Amino acid sequence: MFTYKTEIDPHTGEKYVPVPIKGLALAEHPMYNKGTAFTVAERDEFNLNGIYPAAVSTLEVQKQRAYASFSSEQTDLEKYIYLMSLQDRNETLHYALLLDHLTEMLPIVYTPTVGLACQKYSHIFRRPRGLYISSRNIGHIDRVLSNTSFANISLIVATDGERILGLGDLGAGGMGIPIGKISLYIAAAGLHPSECLPVMLDVGTNNEELLNDPLYIGIREKRLSGEAYDQFIAAFVDGVRRKFSALLQWEDMGKSHAFHILENNREQILSFNDDIQGTGAVAVSVLLNAMKIKGEKLRDQRYILFGQGQAGIGIGRQIAAGLMSGGLSQREAYDRIFGIDINGLLLEGMTVSDEQRPFLKPHSLVAEWQLSDANRITLLDVIKNTRASVLIGVTGQANAFDAEIIAALAANSNVPVILPLSNPTSKAECRPDVALSITGGRCLLATGSPFPAVDVNGARQVISQCNNLFIFPGIGLGALISRTARITDSMFTAASKALSACVTTDELKARQMLPPIKKIRDVSLQVALAVAIEARELGLGRREEDDALREKIAAAMWQPRYLPYRRETPRDD
């Protein structure tokens, strides 16, 4: 296990990387490998002569070659496999290429293509990345955590594969999600690859197709549950606390476990759940900018959350926090939010989870409503009777927002807001072109997955992607730089406001509610700064002025480029 570091020569001022390996070991190490960009001097010093052809390339030439190879692949899945193989060979080149073509490659390394990659993960598996922690090795967690490439881990993204995007239980195939999220942390916020660790918590799968697949790479058993599952998670968290000083991000856990894990561990270890908190924060940022375009306030709206899983509850909580920061009481805030699950509108007397209870509505509220069926209050009923102006979908039900639903919402507001947020693209509750057509171009719209621009009344309408990428990398970077002891809900509120402020007046005039992806590094810096300032104000982080915090955040953002190498003799541990 190595510790990646950069040093500065005290005599020349040159910044360089001490490298503890040479020869084929160096050529095959993805973090240290430069490929054909090793200089003649480095080839001599590190015993690389003969391993590479004679020509010495620059990073720019390598990017041209890699992009040509990427472009020649015929399908998105083939492009995904190419980028993963490039990452396994040369991480610096991989991220330099990704940053140059982020808008084009983001749908490949993450949603929607990552969903297909997770479904086929056992069939496309090439080389291990990160750690696979299972019920068979959890008893040796300290030894397993020692199998990382680098000792200086500061970020871990972990999933148990139970709820991958809108695709459900994909077992060990869910490893594609932590790998993808880490790639986004590095590209968007500049965390160094050596500090990041994707983890697959393989507790089995209840997916019969996977259990019967002879190529499946995970444990071929039903999922752990109950006390056995809780003990597994506790052992993992304890191991991470002993081994690393790291931020732990929970990702795509099942609803039955996600809230429990978040609440049980947020005081024990620096951690958050992106599906709950990150999704809520980016959605509220969209709503803040929608209000700027509408010329209205959050408190003036009625919100419908179609879907009451992690994302729906997380968004509802964050909307309520935004309303309360605007002066409403907790009860007044939740009175404006209407949650709908498989059984219809959440009403008192229904069997619900603890997390859903704040969204329950009294029967007295609906006593005078006009209903199509008195035994079940549908989405259409709620839209018509509440005069709702904001409709958010997080169900994974493709085309659930049909023409009648959209038209009913449009009847309530001159500028209705529609957020079909389910991933991947095939699971979106409606297509942007359909919603814009039905509303005559009046609606404000943001989606969970990327969609092409739409021609509206002779103008080209860019579709904002309500992507957690705008939030979670900055949250992580801000938390690490501020050295906060924990991540609070108020930090996500601060992040929402910071993201909202990144959208320019011209972008708002063009009805865009999020900044373009090409600005992602600046967005991450602004979000990280907001988090660090909030941590300071809460007495949890560095007590430094805003400018000093900004400088530290900017300095920590890694730029993928080749530094000179010098030979380092490994220590005997």
pLDDT tens digit sequence for 10-22: 999 999 999 999 9
pLDDT for position 298: 96
pLDDT tens digit sequence for 68-82: 999 999 999 999 999
pLDDT tens digit sequence for 460-490: 999 999 999 999 999 999 999 999 999 999 9
pLDDT tens digit sequence for 140-186: 999 999 999 999 999 999 999 999 988 999 999 999 999 999 999 99
509 and 383 inside one domain: no
pLDDT tens digit sequence for 203-252: 999 999 999 999 999 999 999 999 999 999 999 999 999 999 999 999 99
Which of 531, 548, 563 marks a domain boundary? Answer: 531
434 and 527 inside one domain: no
361 and 389 inside one domain: yes
401 and 521 inside one domain: no
The model's confidence at residue 571, banded by pLDDT at 50, 70 and 90, is: low
pLDDT for position 573: 41
- H or E element at residue 341: strand 337-341
451 and 377 inside one domain: yes
CB atoms within 10 A of CB 114: 25
527 and 419 inside one domain: no
Per DSSP, the three-state class of 158 is strand
How far is CA 30 from each of CA 91, 149, 254, 258, rounded to the nearest angstrom?
5, 10, 33, 33
Question: Is residue 572 pLDDT above 90, yes or no?
Answer: no
Cα separation, 255 vs 310, whole angstroms: 6
In a domain, 307, yes or no: yes
CB atoms within 10 A of CB 486: 16
Q: Kindly state the tokens that stand for 506.
A: 């011209």
Q: Which domain holds residue 444?
A: 277-468
pLDDT tens digit sequence for 419-466: 999 988 889 999 999 999 999 999 999 999 889 999 988 889 999 999
How far is CA 351 from each of CA 265, 346, 347, 348, 354, rounded to the nearest angstrom?
26, 9, 9, 9, 10
332 and 422 inside one domain: yes
In a domain, 568, yes or no: no
Q: What is the CATH number of the domain that holds 418?
A: 3.40.50.720
Q: Kindly state the tokens that stand for 450.
A: 């990327």
Evaluate whether 541 touches 535 at the Cβ level (below 8 Å): yes
In a domain, 427, yes or no: yes
In a domain, 311, yes or no: yes
- Rounded to two decimals, what is the model's pTM? 0.94
In a domain, 517, yes or no: yes
Cα separation, 357 vs 112, whole angstroms: 32
398 and 367 inside one domain: yes
Which of 468, 483, 516 marks a domain boundary? Answer: 468
Overall average pLDDT of the 492-503 stretch: 97
Cα separation, 56 vs 571, whole angstroms: 31
Cα separation, 527 vs 413, whole angstroms: 31
316 and 415 inside one domain: yes
The catalytic residue positions are: 110, 181
In a domain, 345, yes or no: yes
In a domain, 397, yes or no: yes
435 and 498 inside one domain: no
pLDDT tens digit sequence for 259-307: 999 999 999 999 999 999 999 999 999 999 999 999 999 999 999 999 9
For the chain, how many structural domains are there in total? Answer: 2
345 and 413 inside one domain: yes
How far is CA 362 from each of CA 57, 299, 335, 367, 379, rounded to the nearest angstrom?
69, 20, 10, 9, 17
Cis bond leading into 560, ω under 30°?
no
In a domain, 235, yes or no: no
pLDDT for position 255: 87
The model's confidence at residue 40, banded by pLDDT at 50, 70 and 90, is: very high
What percent of the chain has pLDDT above 90?
A: 93
For all residues of the chain together, what is the average pLDDT? 95
pLDDT tens digit sequence for 79-132: 999 999 999 999 999 999 999 999 999 999 998 899 999 999 999 999 999 999
130: CB partners within 8 A, 6+ apart: 175, 178, 179, 182, 197, 198, 199, 200
Which of 516, 531, 546 marks a domain boundary? Answer: 531
372 and 420 inside one domain: yes
Position 398: which residue type? Answer: A
459: CB partners within 8 A, 6+ apart: none
